[in-house]
Amino acid sequence: MKTTIKDIAKLAGVSKASVSRVLNGSKPVSDDIKQRVLKVIEETGYKPSSIARSLVSKKTNLIGLLIPDISNPFYSELVKGMVEVANKHDYNILLLNSFHDPNKEIEFLEILKDKQVDGLIFMTDNFTKEHINFFKDYDKPTVTVNRKLKEYDFPNVDIDNFKAGFDATKYLIELGHKRIAIIRAPLSDETAGVKRFEGYKKALEKYNIPFDENLVKEGDFKAKSGFISTEEFLKLDNPPTAIFTVNDEMACGVIKRVIKGKLKVPEDISVIGFDDIPIANNFIPSITTIKQPISEMGKKATKILYNMIKGENIVNKDFLLPHKLVIRESTSKKD
């Protein structure tokens, strides 16, 4: 039969209340009682019910994590960093994946609320009225990654996406390119759809290169959208000599379509991606990209959330980590 707190108390010669205090650290007990209880726990192999412990401590030791697409290597790397920190603090992560469906996100947020997670890490590319309504009544600590929500003052872990978009475009300009296309995310995505795009346009403006709407396409972070967008670019009378994509997967699609068209990367078209996921270095040609410190972003977000769960007041709500341009084979000087 399963050992209970009552059994532990009887074998240790103490009250059930004393056993509970030892297990939860809720109130001090004498060293003698503590050692007797711990000795019996070790001898019996007793493991307290997580449900019972949560009722006493008012904590579930669960962190809710809602992400848009676990198949995207960016999120996989992010989760690895989060799990590392969560495990260090004896927390488990309850991961839900919405595949960019706002309705699913609301459904999953309600599930995490019902599960009484101690805190929430939330990522979305489309913050809707339904999201706003949910967070009006949600009082658990919440941290966002890669998305600063104007409507709520949640701590956010990110890079300077405007500067990163500027830096990527500036690099292509310095190589001599003037016909620079961009495959951005939907404009509902404040980070990859707006900020990186604004950085791109600012770089063109600074170097007196006219902005051309024909050199702008919208992608969905998948290689196929990079492929299709490039197909449209190549139909132009004056096609681009360089293409900037707001993630590396789309850059892979771009390169595939360029090569299919009997053109070369970077000799005919230079390509620069974003994120620096593992495939960027292993693709042929290897992809020049803007590196985000993805794992560190996951770790930072989880550390902040853990501190909030403990009751710490987070004064600074914007945590910007440094990005870096990683130069590889997919870019070269324009002849």
Q: How far apart are CA 97 and CA 254, in angstroms?
A: 27
Instruction: Enter the tokens of residue 5.
Output: 């707190």
Cα–Cα distance list, 201 to 182, 196, 324 (Å)? 10, 9, 19
- The strand pairing partners of 67, in sequence order, are 97
For residue 55, the model assigns a pLDDT of 47
Which of the residues in the chain have pLDDT under 70? 1, 24-26, 48-58
Query: Could you give the strand order of the β-sheet that contains 270-275, starting from the edge strand earlier in sequence?
Result: 216-218, 180-184, 242-245, 270-275, 288-291, 324-326
Domain boundaries, the chain: 5-57, 62-159+294-320, 161-292
Q: How far apart are CA 254 and CA 262, in angstroms?
A: 13
Tell me whether domains 62-159+294-320 and 161-292 share a fold.
yes
The CATH homologous superfamily to which domain 161-292 belongs is Response regulator (3.40.50.2300)
Q: How many CA atoms lie within 13 A of 230 on its CB side?
A: 28
The answer for residues whose C-beta is within 8 angstroms of residue 49's C-beta and 6 or more apart is none
For residue 50, the model assigns a pLDDT of 56
3-state secondary structure of 53: helix
Topology (CATH level 3) of domain 62-159+294-320: Rossmann fold (3.40.50)
Q: How far apart are CA 271 and CA 286, in angstroms?
A: 10
Cα–Cα distance list, 169 to 11, 195, 201, 236, 262 (Å)? 71, 13, 8, 20, 25
Domain spanning 5-57, CATH architecture: Orthogonal Bundle (1.10)
Closest of 87, 26, 95, 18 to residue 58, by C-alpha:
26
